[in-house]
Structure 1
């Protein structure tokens, strides 16, 4: 027992001597308008950086299209993420991870990942999952706002890869959306939103290590070895308009064994896109009755769900949602952000865990399809989203600067 180990010495880790955030700006600082590509490079090849703990600092102003102060417009939950339609992380010019439709992807993923206590801290990033309809968030009376968004909220690479990057050029690429309608909500459409982003910085930790650790890392570099980068990527596939029927078969994609889906989250929205009178951070149950996915011939889940939202019979679906943290993060205790009532109102998501798979799925290609049933024929402009969480494997060589994907 440690209690009786009286000769032990106090533990002190001095391997990291300094840990400071450095600010990186876009190539063209003023290039922050609609549809602009915003590139933020890290050219310091002699530094050790920890991109996993990096964040975006964004400062701007919410106003009407004529430049005057908006009185009715307000940000939705995670609204700042909806200002960007694509996010990419590049290592020496090679795309390591990317996310399209950044706002929707991060909202769906984080509804499963974070609990209520963590959400209090993340309010600084614009994360307000339980905000009321009339609650104005982020902006002051003049419409000014500023946020710090940890990149682990937006992309799988930053969440999973918890090591320093050595001697490599890095770039963060953001592409702004064509308008701000999905980031904003209002009681009516009398005010057209315009969000002016005035500052956008990438804050990245620089790590200074002890002499002993420096020598060890230099030996690793000089050995000309490939260092692994493993993480789980987030990929969103959209079914823009469901047919008006109660039975749907959706052939989602064909993939290789390396990118076999491990978790699948299916969400529905009824006529919310590009309309400021609706909230894009909320989802609809669309009278879902049953859902299953097939990876080749393997079915998940094995049993039918027998969901009935009209009569509040969705306990099985909520249990699947609540078990995400234990399966994905190996948490001992699940702490879902929503209770069953709020789950139905705000985010009735179908999480399907397919992380445990037979050997037959580990060879060859994987054909994925989704089958689901609804109590009534789906209405016009109903969109289905499928968020696939799958593994990716890269290596990089800090000596030759070569990046490879496996």
Structure 2
């Protein structure tokens, strides 16, 4: 866990305050295996075979300042083939960094017209969004937002936290890149984001990007060794 040097983003108000962490608990759910599954697992343990554990990892990146122009390109990271991104969630804030008077949990509408994610030679979405929040033309962005829960959690209900009207004031952009051409193999994957606005980005605008990507570890039950692949 990485903590900022200042507590100003943890509360809203003019008065000075500080937060002291005295105790942290990590609650991990346990899965109970059936008898047949236990027998198969015991056989694998007796052979001293490593257990491969695939999962989805979340990583948060921040661009502290955007160019004061209508477009900007963010070279987010270079990942390995095993850590290929599956979902990208992007949001923007205006003047909220270390501001005690602003709510750091709220995002801002910076009049985004188009966002495009590039994974090497592949682009998501394939076509431009052509958004215009001034005339309430942002149905594509909102549809991607409400579809995320169904696609990621495999649930049919769409109980989105934001309705269509509130999404205009606090947009969160989701780009689904879970369906990729797996036949194209690269040693590395360059993750790049193109951002375009209706007007030039103002000073003090920060971009936040949450990457949900594949991850793989190997666990040796006899030695307790965990190795990240």
Shift of 1:199: 3.6
Distance 1:203 1:238, change over 3 A: closer
Residue 332, structure 1, aligned to residue 159, structure 2? no
Shift of 1:215: 6.8
For the residue of structure 2 that corresponds to 1:313, the secondary structure is: coil
Query: Which consecutive unaligned segments of at least 5 residues does structure 2 have?
Result: none
Alignment of 1:284 with 2:108, yes or no, is yes
**C-alpha distance in 1, partners of 2:123/2:36?**
52
The answer as to 2:4 corresponding to 1:180 is no
1:224–1:400 contact (8 Å) kept in structure 2: no
Is the 8 Å Cα contact of residues 396 and 404 (structure 1) preserved in structure 2?
Answer: yes
1:364 to 187, 199, 202: 187
Are positions 1:194 and 2:18 aligned together?
yes
Cα distance change, pair 203–323 in 1 and its aligned pair in 2 (3 A): closer
The answer to whether the Cα contact below 8 Å between 1:257 and 1:362 also exists between their aligned partners in 2 is yes
Please name the residue that 1:384 is paired with. Answer: 207
More strand by share: 1
Query: What is the aligned partner in structure 2 of residue 239 from structure 1?
Result: 63
1:323 aligns with 2:150: no
Candidates 370, 374, 378, aligned match of 2:197: 374
Q: Tell me the secondary structure at the aligned position of residue 21 of structure 2.
A: strand
Q: Distance in 2 between matches of 1:185 and 1:378?
A: 25
Q: Report how far residue 324 of structure 1 moved.
A: 0.6
The structural deviation recorded for 1:246 is 0.2
In the alignment, which residue of structure 2 is the partner of 1:261? 85
RMSD, aligned α-carbons: 2.4
Q: In the TM superposition, what is the alpha-carbon distance from 1:183 to its structure 2 partner?
A: 0.9
CA shift digits 1:69-103 (9 cap, x unpaired): xxxxxxxxxxxxxxxxxx2xxxxxxxxxxxxxxxx
Partner of 1:345: 169
d(CA) in 2 for partners of 1:285 and 1:359? 35
Are residue 302 (structure 1) and residue 129 (structure 2) matched?
Answer: no
For structure 1, list consecutive stretches of 5 or more residues without a partner in the other structure. Answer: 1-86, 88-174
Match of 1:29 in 2: none
Greater shift after overlay, 230-239 or 197-206?
Answer: 197-206
> CA separation of 1:193/1:366 partners in 2, compared to 1, >3 Å: closer, same or farther?
same
- Give the distance between the partners of 2:172 and 2:71, measured in 1 at CA: 18
